[in-house]
Amino acid sequence: MHEFKIDVTLDASLPFVFAAFHEPEYLSEWFAPGDCSVTQIMSDFKEGGRYRIKMMEPSGIEMSLTGEYVTILANEQLSFSWAWEDDIEESVMTSVDIHFEKTEENNARLVLIQQGFLNKQECDQHNYAWMSCLEKLAVLAAKKKSFS
Question: What are the extents of the domains in the chain?
Answer: 2-32+71-146
Q: What is the pLDDT of residue 145?
A: 73
Q: What is the pLDDT of residue 147?
A: 64
Q: What is the pLDDT of residues 98-134, one digit of tens each?
A: 999 999 888 999 999 999 999 999 999 999 999 999 9
Are the C-beta atoms of 100 and 87 separated by less than 8 Å?
no
Ranges of residues in the chain whose predicted pLDDT is under 70:
87-91, 146-148
CATH code of the region 2-32+71-146: 3.30.530.20
- The rounded distance, in Å, linking the Cα atoms of 103 and 137 is 18
Any alpha helices (H) in 1-148, and if so which ranges?
14-20, 24-30, 120-147
